[in-house]
Amino acid sequence: MTVMLNVENARKTFTMHLQGGILLPVVQGVSFQVTAGECVVLSGPSGAGKSSILKMIFGNYRCDGGRISVRHQGEMIDVAGAEPRLVLNARRQTIGYVSQFLRAVPRVAALDVVAEPLLMAGVARDEARARAGALLGRLNIPERLWSLPPSTFSGGEQQRVNIARGFISELPILLLDEPTASLDAANRAVVVDLIAAKKQAGVAMIAIVHDDDIRAQIADRTVDVTTFAAAA
């Protein structure tokens, strides 16, 4: 199987300069691999560092040591040491991220929020918007909301817009931070189906889910983040 992501000995400590420079060790020795078509679930209690690991893979948080190798355009690149330009490239072409909360851009319609990753990948506007509409429809977002900015949507609606934005493009690696947390049963089932379809398409996924039932449905493997606990 093709290894899409290889994390080796990654380490993260925050230094809180405004609190007298105290060190907040989060994780150390983080090591795992994800192959194409596989969904690995990160488990562990609140504060264990699950979201931090996803953010390090996405290049949103710095990595203080180790390597985070990602298969980008057929070559392994180390996100931990890459130039910003290369990380941005990898985000456009390789790594998608569904964050726990939607970071809404003011005044941009939900349909365009979802279509944007396709536009960046060079898909024509009409086609991008048509595909965005189809996905929003599948996630039960009523059509009357499509032209509105999501900032006034309910928590669950915002999360579904966020999911649609993450799932619309054909990126080979997807990071999912509690994608089903604020959804009802019907919409959770839609997300489980979307994840299954991504697996079929060979996408490598790393997910954080608290719900045992969802985890059982999507996980090919579980990685226990508490084994990476950093000594305080």
169 close to 117: Cβ distance less than 8 angstroms:
yes
- The DSSP symbol for 140 reads T
Q: Toward ligand ATP, which CB reaches closer, 114 or 208?
A: 208
Q: Does 73 bind another protein (CB under 8 A)?
A: yes
**Residue 130 C-beta: closest distance to ligand ATP, Å:** 35
How far CA 25 is from CA of 32, 48, 58, 66, 119, in Å, comes to: 19, 10, 20, 15, 39
The residue within the footprint of ligand ATP, chosen from 11, 50, 72, 188 (CB under 6 A), is 50
With respect to ligand ATP, which residue has the nearer C-beta, 10 or 168? 10
Chain centroid to Cα 80, Å, comes to 17
* Residue 47, token pair as written in the block: 């504060």
Choosing from 28, 51, 158, 169, the residue that interacts with Mg ion (CB under 5 A) is 51
**Bridge partners, residue 41, by sequence:** 207, 222
Smallest gap from residue 100 Cβ to ligand ATP (A): 7
Q: Is position 48 an interface residue for ligand ATP (rule: CB under 6 A)?
A: yes
Q: Which does 47 bind (CB under 5 to 8 A by kind): another protein, ligand ATP, Mg ion, none?
A: ligand ATP
Instruction: Measure the CA angle with vertex 118, ends 112 and 121; round to 5°.
Output: 140
Strand ordering across the sheet containing 75-78: 22-35, 3-16, 65-72, 75-78
In the complex, minimum distance from the CB of residue 85 to another protein, in angstroms, rounded to a whole number: 6
- Which of 14, 89, 211, 217 binds ligand ATP (CB under 6 A)? It is 14
Residues sharing a CB contact under 8 Å with residue 227, sequence separation 6 or more, in sequence order = none
131 belongs to the binding site for another protein (CB under 8 A): no
Tokens of 219: 């996980």
Which of another protein, Mg ion, ligand ATP, none does residue 77 bind (CB under 5 to 8 Å by kind)? another protein
Which of the listed partners (ligand ATP, Mg ion, another protein, none) does 66 bind, with a CB threshold of 5 to 8 Å by partner kind?
none
Which residues does residue 30 pair with via DSSP β-bridges, in sequence order?
10
Contact positions toward Mg ion, by CB under 5 A? 51
Binding site for ligand ATP (CB under 6 A): 14, 24, 26, 44, 46-52
